[in-house]
Amino acid sequence: MMKTVSAAIPLFALCGLAQAFTYTVTIGIDETNGQQGIGFDPSAIRPSPGDTITFTYALPEYLKNPPPVQHSATQSTFDNPCTAMSGGFDTGVHETGWVSSSTGDSFNLVVNDTQPLWFFSSVGDDCKQGMVLAVNPPLSGDQTADAFKQKAMLSTSTPSATAPSSSSSPASSQPPSGTSSAAPTMTSPPPPSQSTNSAASHMAKLELCLAAVVAFIGVTVMAQ
Ligand SMILES: *[C@@H]1O[C@H](CO)[C@@H](O)[C@H](O)[C@H]1NC(C)=O
């Protein structure tokens, strides 16, 4: 029996290794309706250390011949949502393409810890229109994904300006507009969100892996 258990341990370790996961964020999609728009889809994700964020400009196949639109995925800070963080990740400005024609560039960023990461689109007033992405945002307090979006939409700064940020009055003093947290009206059914799929397959993979380990132990026990 000792032998069985020790043989199973490397399998459990493999389950852990298999968990490194890719979160795909599509640039130029309004996540509330799945249509082309000023937004990241999804606009909030919770990757684990070691996971990869793939920023893609390739729009999904259900959009038929979408016109190319320029955006960026540029890292910022919570305090200055619409200003590029010095030394931060930046895809640069790119045009959206169509997955069916194999156009639309992709950029990967490996997540190394669970610290929040904040992103915006630096094109035009994308950011003021709420085109922001929160990675591992706090779920409560005054630095949530919603608070970040509100702050971006209230932002008066162009990417190079430095607006004074009053630390005593957080963005949450503004009443939320309700558009960001309201449930989308399902007039045209949006495609299943990538992140929901991701989370589901993440769990499925873990369960499969653990099932394999249990099966392995079972077979080994029966063989003895
Ligand atoms: C994680 O570390 C890699 C390698 O040092 C670096 O290229 C990458 O930018 C880091 N990721 C983040 C989100 O800072």
Predicted pLDDT of residue 156: 75
- Ligand 1 centroid to Cα of residue 112, in Å, is 6
Predicted pLDDT of residue 16: 56
The three state secondary structure string of the chain is CHHHHHHHHHHHHHHHHCCCCEEEEEEEEECCCCEEEEEEECCEECCCCCCEEEEECEECCCCCCCCCCEECCEEECCCCCCCCCCCCCECCCEECEEHHHCCCCEEEEECCCCCCEEEECCCCCCCCCCCEEEECCCCCCCCCHHHHHHHHHHCCCCCCCCCCCCCCCCHHHCCCCCCCCCCCCCCCCCCCCHHHHHHHHHHHHHHHHHHHHHHHHHHHHHHC
Decide if 148 contacts 176 (C-beta within 8 A): no
Nearest-CA residue for atom 2 of ligand 1: 112
User: In this structure, which amino acid lies at residue 215?
Assistant: A
Predicted pLDDT of residue 104: 95
* Cβ atoms within 10 Å, residue 27: 29
Q: pLDDT below 50 — which residues of the chain? A: 1-6, 9, 159-201, 209-210, 213-214, 216-217, 219, 221
Predicted pLDDT of residue 66: 94
36 bridge partner residues: 29
Degrees, nearest 5: CA angle 48-134-57: 95
- Ligand 1 centroid to Cα of residue 103, in Å, is 26
Predicted pLDDT of residue 152: 98
- Ligand 1 centroid to Cα of residue 170, in Å, is 29
- Give residues (CB < 6 A) around ligand 1: 109-112, 117
Nearest-CA residue for atom 4 of ligand 1: 110
23, 110, 114: residue to mutate for ligand 1 pocket, most atoms within 8 A of CB: 110
25, 52, 109, 114: residue to mutate for ligand 1 pocket, most atoms within 8 A of CB: 109
Predicted pLDDT of residue 155: 87
Place of tokens 């945002």: 137
What is the Cα–Cα distance from 180 to 31, expressed in whole angstroms? Answer: 10
- Ligand 1 centroid to Cα of residue 111, in Å, is 6
Predicted pLDDT of residue 165: 41
Nearest-CA residue for atom 12 of ligand 1: 111
- Ligand 1 centroid to Cα of residue 109, in Å, is 7
35 bridge partner residues: 30
Residues across the chain: 224
- Ligand 1 centroid to Cα of residue 203, in Å, is 25
178: left (phi over 0), alpha (psi -120 to 50) or beta: left
Decide if 109 contacts 52 (C-beta within 8 A): yes
- Ligand 1: atom nearest CA of 89 is 9
